[in-house]
Structure 1
Amino acid sequence: MPAPIAADQVIRIPLLPILAVQGLSVRRNALSLPEPTGPREGRAGRGPRLRLLITGDSSAAGVGAGTQAQALSGHLVAKLAKHNTVEWRLEATTGHTTQDTIQRLARLDDKFDAVVTALGVNDVTRGVTLKQFSDRQTRLLSYLTGPLSARRVVVTAVPQMNLFPALPQPLAWVLGRQAQRLNHGLQQVVGAFPQAKYLTLDLPDDPALAAPDGYHPSPKAYALWAQQAAHLLQA
């Protein structure tokens, strides 16, 4: 039996012309920020060996930061390196969906002890359904904990897109509701994997946490994200 249609999915039908105009306007006026400069793999710290993979979309890649040292990878490695020898690798690209990430990781031969993922925004904007998203996240976690051998995986929640400063209403509301729907499925998927933990970012209401494009995290937000992810990895 197909899943029941949510109220917001019905309401947005008459809004489609407005949503289409707003979507085009956002794309046309968006400030296109590059992925940060700096290494995407390396070794840092002293202590027990920890092979770390960070993977996902533009936020995993660090868009909104000037260098990888200011991005999620830099902050996370710095925190973990206080207690471990961290051998880390970043596999992330602007625009990637869950399916894109599965295909990218399928080319890797490496093994990892810990993984942090950041996906969902592009699944929302490309109209990926809840079932498709849940199925693909299940495949992703199966691959991470199977062939790639990860013993700990931190799965970052889909951001609250209704709070993105760059998105006007009602577009922000529509995308926010879909992000919320995908998050519900994501929590269920994560619950089926004992190696995985679901990370809902607990961030304060602070304009300084948004990058200049109003769509990506700032270096300050990346630092808070890394702190929470490191806590789950070390728990």
Structure 2
Amino acid sequence: MNTLDYQILRNCAIDIIIGMLGLSYFVVYLLLFLIFHFPSTQDSIPYALAVIAFGGGIALWYLCVVIQNGFRVLHNQKKNRQPVSLWFVGLFLIWTAALPTIAFLFPAQPSLQLGYASAFTVIVVGSLPDGYLKDGTVSFRGRFSLQYASVGLLALVPTIHTLAEPLHDPSPLATAFCRLLFINFFGCVFYVCRPLERIGMTRIGQPTLHGMYLIATYSLVEYSKVVMQVAIPYMS
């Protein structure tokens, strides 16, 4: 095995390890929710579905990371780029992370819930075809990262709506979602700028990509705790 093959194998192994950790956490997260907080009334079913879609969507993203890197190892792909499908599933990740805010921030306004959910779904689905016109170049990475930022800012609209309400205390879920998006925004900027590669810390490798995955994993785990905390009262 030459040096290039070893570096590719090492990078893929790190991504697979991070992906397996995230996948394991959110699979257990879903199982614990279903075992200990299964919805007991008909009114609690939509909220339970929001939590299940949230955890399942994130687990799907990590599964995609594991599968794509596994195929990369098996087929000995030497191109130092991420498959386009990961970017598409990443848009789905933003959509599924926003679902709990739509469900739990407007519990007494089903029409508003449906409106926000429908509008945001249309926006995310409408953003997907644009990726097929791009390739895996740096220009693609930058443009698609900008698209991520735009969709993420639109996902903040329900949260801003809630925070603008003068008669209600700020929801911990709204604060947690803002923190999630801003942390991942800086992680995305970190990946696009690639400062570690630019200063020559490694000749072959993807340390900024690993860092972005770790940042995303940390922020998602912290956010999931708040989602569970807010969802439990609705399950009784």
Same fold (TM over 0.5): no
Which of the pair is proportionally richer in helix? 2
Which of the pair is proportionally richer in strand? 1
Q: TM-score of the superposition, structure 2-length normalised?
A: 0.31
| Greater Cα radius of gyration, structure 1 or 2 | 2
Relative contact order (alpha carbons < 8 A, sep ≥ 6): 1 or 2 greater?
2
